[in-house]
Amino acid sequence: MSTTEQPKIRIFDTTLRDGEQSPGASMNLEEKLTIAAALSDLGVDIIEAGFPIASPGDFEAVEQIAKTIRGPVICGLARCSDQDIDRAWEALKHSHSPRIHVFLATSAIHREFKLKMTADEIVLRAVAGVKRAKRVCDDIEFSPEDAARTEPDFLCRVVEAVIQAGATTVNIPDTVGYATPAHMGRVIHTLKNRVPNIDKAIISIHCHNDLGLAVANSLAAVENGARQVECTINGIGERAGNCSLEEIVMALRTRNDHYGFQTNIVTKRLVPVSRLVSSTTGLDVQRNKAIVGRNAFAHEAGIHQDGMLKEPSTYEIMRPEDVGLVKTDLVLGKHSGRAALSDRAKQLGFDLTGEQLQAVFEEFKRVADRKKEVYDGDIMAIIQSQLHGTLTEHWELSDFAVHLRRGKSPMFQLKLSRAGESHEIELEDGEGPIDAAFLATEKLTGVPMNCREFKINATSLGHDALGEVTLSIEHNGHEYRGRGVSTDCVEASLVAILSAINRIPSVQ
């Protein structure tokens, strides 16, 4: 059977809902819109945009994504309650292809300790929720929360009832990452064989990674009849995370001989979208992460290097180009033009609008004037900074100077602007230039803060590489993330500090 004739697995991305529930990974509206657009370009079939009733911010994000993103189905989560479902529809109603995703726990432990409901009450509530959602939306997904620990007989009963009530997709969550591949395969197999109306709905799978089995469990579900996989970019999510989108997609593609399914994912965009989500959330991708990790296609052992030189397939089962990595790293310089930069951006997986290209080009020229050679890593850092750096800046860096003497506190001069007004300060304090940058910014803005996390990475090779600073500050008991890029690490730190400060609601 050719791949054009093969059945497809629907990819349901929940990065903006379950993924955002990772501690410290919350995103603002503009960042969510940027990621939603990237997911659309990636080719995901369904975007779970959020949980509309959770907060006004979540509602606004789902509403704006529903209004602006075309292509994928736009989904909103809701509990089986009238208020949740009505709120979800209010956010989703402008979408060209909306879906309401209702859920209710079904396992004995949840029934007894969390919901304090009988099995009969659970069935009635689930059916009522699906029916209410069905009144306003044709596309309804139902999830029996903690399905992997639900008694098979009862799970079959619930699934049959919600399909009868109008559910078009039935999602089977391994909510706490308890299942094994054989276990999950049996659950899906049981539903396929014992639920009489199962052919009227798509079976979906949603696996958590507490035992490191989310991808394996999802593949087992596919082998037994699931036709939708719920996953996140980089596998982010509650606790140990979710099934990783890039891993499930490349497993299906690379082992197409075994699974016999295809997806709509444009795999060359996997690495760019992975890096976008990582830089936006501040959650680093581990070096040895499958598919998108820095070492995923790196070879150091002599035997491996020898084999790679003779035939790449000796030690690589995928081509790096297929997931968005490029072999040529040295790219552009200060004499390069806008067209060359646009072409390179496309090769790296970014299709920039005219306005975005102009902003990236201006920053590229500024960097190119300070570096002889601009690498792919530098270009990607610049692009990502501009793509999700559209947050309205309230405090902006105008200028700074730092004078260092061994054994002495730095002399730090800082000039910021806000609403067209200039603010300056000079102090001699701190244990070094970064500490002094924090202290000067704190005094000048009047925003007290504690630095909870500070990371700096080189974006490419060479002593003149761009420094990418990501940090987290605490203010009034809440954490706010910031990011800055510059060839000067102090400047990158100041930009990152201001980026975090500008996220604080009281500052806006």
E strand or H helix at 374? strand 374-375
What is the model's pLDDT at position 21? 83
Judge whether 172 and 187 are in contact, CB under 8 Å: yes
Distance separating alpha carbons of residues 493 and 470, to the nearest angstrom: 8
**Domains along the chain with CATH numbers:** 3-261 (3.20.20.70), 396-507 (3.30.160.270)
Distance separating alpha carbons of residues 81 and 88, to the nearest angstrom: 11
What is the model's pLDDT at position 265? 98
Exposure of 443 by Cβ count < 10 A (0-12 exposed, 13-18 middle, 19+ buried)? middle
Distance separating alpha carbons of residues 207 and 232, to the nearest angstrom: 10
Q: Which residues contact 292 (CB under 8 A, 6 or more apart)?
A: 234, 246, 270, 271, 274, 275, 285, 323
What is the model's pLDDT at position 326? 65
| Alpha helices (H) along 282-408 | 302-310, 338-347, 354-370, 376-387
Residues of the chain below pLDDT 50 = 1, 300, 305, 308, 328-330, 390-392
Judge whether 30 and 388 are in contact, CB under 8 Å: yes
Q: CB atoms < 10 A from the CB of 336, how many?
A: 17
Which residue, 347, 329, 345, 215, is CA-closest to 268? 347
CA gyration radius, the chain: 25
Residue 10 φ/ψ, nearest 5 degrees = -75, 135
Distance separating alpha carbons of residues 266 and 264, to the nearest angstrom: 7
What is the model's pLDDT at position 301? 53
What is the model's pLDDT at position 105? 98
What is the model's pLDDT at position 466? 85
Distance separating alpha carbons of residues 387 and 363, to the nearest angstrom: 12
Which residue, 163, 145, 152, 219, is CA-closest to 187? 152
